[in-house]
Structure formats: C-alpha cells, structure tokens
Amino acid sequence: MRKFARYFPKYLRIDNFCLIIIIMSNNLDLKKGLDIPLKGVAAQKVVKTVDPGIVALKPTDFKGLVPRLLVKEGDPVLAGSPVFADKQNPQILFTSPVSGVVEQVVRGEKRKLLAVLVKADGKKESVDFGTKVPANADAVKELLLNTGLWGALIQRPYGVMADPALKPKAIFISSFSTAPLAADTDFVLGDALADIQAGVNALGKLTDGGVHFSVNKAVYSSTPFHKVENVISHVVSGKHPAGNVGVQISHIAPIRKGETVWTVSLLMVAAIGHVINTGKLDLTRKVAVTGPAAADPAYVVALPGTPVKEITSVSEGVRVIGGDVLTGETLGADGYLGFFDNQITLLREGTERELLGWAKPFRPKVHSSSWCYFSWLTPGKKYDMDTNLHGGPRAFVETKCFEDVTPMDIFPIYLIKACLAGDIEKMEKFGIYEVLPEDLALCDYVDPSKNDIQAIISKGIDLMIKEMA
C-alpha cells in the first residue's frame, strides 16, 4: 500500500497502517443559488482612463487592521512607498498607489484613521522592487510585505488579513464572479495571463497544500484562465454564489476548527505577478460601472482610491455602491473606490410607497425568487430595481428559502440564529468557520422577514474573533 501511495500522493494517505482514500472532484456542479436579473450590465468597452488628482488609502478596506501612520501631511511619496502599517504586525505595510504628496490625513471619532489622501503629481514614479523571481516562501513574504500587497491575502476562517507567521492548509483563487453585474474577468484580466501565472507561482511557495484555481465551466473553452499552470484546477458551474471562493472551498476542502486557508482575488494575483515581472507596483484596473441608474454601463480604467466623481457622474437620488448590490459598500458621490473593488453599481434610492404592495395580484415590474408574482414566466427579463425593501424587519419566518440559495453543507437558519444568540458552541456546530457574510448574501435578498443577514453573520464572526483569540 505504501508503494501505491507513493505514486498517487494527491489521492492517498497512510495513517496508522490504514489506507484512506481522498476523493477530490475537479468538477463542481452546484444546483442551489440564484442569479438576480438586474439591468445595467457593463458593455465590454473602455470609455475612459482616469488619472486621478487625489487618491485615498483607506485602512477600513482591510478587516482586522489597526493602522499606524508612517507619513505626515506634506511628505513626498512614490508608488510603493509605505503610508501606514499594521500595529499588531508592523512588517505588514500599506503603500501608495501613486507618486505625489500626502495631501491630508482624515480622522474620525477618537482620532480613528479613516483615510490618507495623496495628491498625485502625474509622474507615475515607482519604487523599484526588482524583477528577481522569489526563490522561496520567505522571499515571497518579504516581497508582499514590502510592496503593500500582503493585505490582498485573506485568511479564513473570519475573513481577516493573513497572518505572516502561519502556513495555510491551501490557497484558493476563483477566476470568475457570479455576483450581480460583476465585472467580466476575461475582459478585465484576459491580457494579464503572464502576470497571473507569476503570481500563482509565487503564492504556491507559501503553502504545502497547493493553489486551488477555479474556472467557470460556462466559458471554459474560451477563457484564457484554463491555461494557468502549477495549480489544482476546478471547473465550476451553477448560479450565484457559485463564483464565491468560500462556496468553492466548502466543496473542495471544508475548513475545520484549527485549520487555516488563504484566498486571493484574481485581480490581486495579477498585481502580485506584475510586481514580480516588472519590479513596479501597478494597481491600475478596469472598473465596471454598472446598474440600472448608470447612464452608460461600461468600463473605466482607474486606480483604487480614485474619487467616484472622476469615474462616473452621479445623479441626485442615486446610491453609489462599491462592488455588487449584495455585498458592496455604500460609497456616496464623494467616496473613493475601494482597494479590492473593480465594480461600481448605481441604484436609484427607493423612497416611494406602493399602494397595496404585496397584495397586488399582478406586478410585472417586480422580480420574485419564490414565484409570488409572474416573473417566472419571463426568465430572460432584466429588472430596473431600486433600494426599496418594501417592508421592515420582523420575526424570522422559518421557510426553505435560505437553503435554496445556499449551495453549502450547512443549515443557514440555525447558523443565523446561533449568531443572534451569541452561542459560540452552536455557531461552531452550524458552520461559522466556513462562511463569510458574502456567502449568505442571497439570504438577504430572499428573506421574507427583511433581516440584515450579512450584518448578523458579521457580528457572529466578530464575537468568534474576540472570544477565540
């Protein structure tokens, strides 16, 4: 048996003279989920390139970060110059995406650091990090820590920044997104295959469990990402949230208590590879401007931290969301693009009240996930949705709706109630280690009780961090 195991190390393990067969499916066909038919998908064209006058670095983009400021107003910086660090891990640096001068340090209550504004000089000068390919894990860590890209590594459970002192069980990357109106990764990053490969090669040195790389089955034959090497490939199909890396992890290698995995977005993998290939930090990306309230849904080339008003015009009565409508953050017309964002969604504020509301027998302009109305007769129709909840929070109604949109081996309703009760034992039992709020975002959409499910899960995770630290 040991000889046989030597030839198939990925599938066999010998423990105490027992043969354990590890079955790892490379094809995931997820049946549960829901694609929200929202108007405003971005056309595959770039309408402009933004050279921002001001760029904002926001510590609030990184969960678990306690920032320590390294610059003061008036200091000159280059792209790649440290601006602030993590107090708990001072070696984790966060760097400027542009060259220029520190214009303003923005603080909130109790002098909490909210943002550092850098006035760009237009010269695009960068720190030279060298083009040498990192030879081992220590060299990869040093590069990521110095360039400010360590913050791109997200640690599960809990979705916090990765701890440099740990070695993860594996690293997971999803090459596509199924979120509403999400940016098309083939269009955004299809020409960055060399950078993605360099990033994958480097990340593979940080773990003994390999880099798991998921590709969308619907575009497998046309996407360039199936050419990525030195990865454990998975072909995934299904409705949203099939593209969520957390859902993929739950089917490939579920996270148990005491285990750690890291995830990296494909956008950040390309940024890591670009530093390795060129020695320069470049976070420029194609940002999808989407949503029913977008005048011309298309792509804009911009940097993270770019002011929203330089990316797109915003009318009065429109909500600006950094990311998708399910998991994004409200930015406001005076806000700045987030570090991880490559999408902006524009939605009308739904302030009007509807006469009779749910009692109407026929509502052709309203989408229903539960066949309450006749939207199921027009499956290809896209809807001009707004932010109106059509009701307020109330007691939980026990239905099967949460399970129908959660393609994970958990009981969402019991996990949610355990988080509400602050019961750590039950939270562990029902899967708190496997989820982030984004993985249950669809529960917000289908919940007849109008509860903020993601906020409940987030509070549960915060409690786990506090009590289990």
On whether both 114 and 213 belong to a single domain, the answer is: no
Name which residue leads in pLDDT, 390 or 280.
280
Residue 217, domain extent: 133-278
In a domain, 435, yes or no: yes
pLDDT in tens, 295-347: 999 999 999 999 999 999 999 999 999 999 999 999 988 999 999 999 999 99
* Number of separate domains in the chain: 3
Is 30 within the bounds of a domain? no
Residues 65 and 184 in one domain: no
pLDDT of residue 212: 98
Alpha-carbon separation of residue 285 from 119, 346, 386 (angstroms): 19, 19, 27
Judgement on whether residues 250 and 148 belong to the same structural domain of the protein: yes
Instruction: For residues 216-238, give the mean pLDDT.
Output: 95
Give 20's pLDDT tier (boundaries 50, 70, 90). very low
Structure tokens at 170: 């594996």
Domain finish residue from 99, 120, 141:
120
Same domain, 115 and 67: yes
pLDDT of residue 361: 63
In this structure, what CATH number is given to the domain that contains residue 158?
3.40.50
Residue 342, token pair as written in the block: 């490559």
Q: How much is the pLDDT for 358?
A: 62
Instruction: Say whether both 187 and 266 belong to one domain.
Output: yes
Verify that 248 and 139 share a domain, yes or no. yes
Looking at 18-22, 52-56, 120-124, which range is the least confident one?
18-22
Judge whether 338 and 302 are in contact, CB under 8 Å. no
Helix, strand, coil percentages (3-state) for the chain, rounded to 5, are 30, 20, 50
CB-based burial of residue 109 (10 Å sphere; 0-12 exposed, 13-18 middle, 19+ buried)? exposed
- 148 in the same domain as 110: no
pLDDT at residue 197 above 50? yes
Mean predicted lDDT score pLDDT of the chain: 91
pLDDT for 12: 41
Give the Cα separation of 82 and 95 in Å (integer).
Answer: 4
Residue 273 maps to a domain: yes
User: Does one domain contain both 113 and 152?
Assistant: no
* Closest to 235 measured CA to CA, from 188, 174, 184: 174
Is residue 49, in this structure, part of any structural domain at all? Answer: no
* Residue 337 within any structural domain of the chain: no
**144 and 272 co-located in one domain:** yes
Tell me: do 220 and 187 sit in the same domain: yes
Query: Based on the domain organization, do 186 and 272 belong to the same domain?
Result: yes
At 8, the pLDDT band (50, 70, 90 cuts) reads very low
Check whether residue 199 and residue 227 sit in a common domain: yes
Could you read off the pLDDT of 158-192 as tens digits, one per residue? 999 999 999 999 999 999 999 999 999 999 999 99
Q: Which of 278, 300, 322 is the last residue of a domain?
A: 278
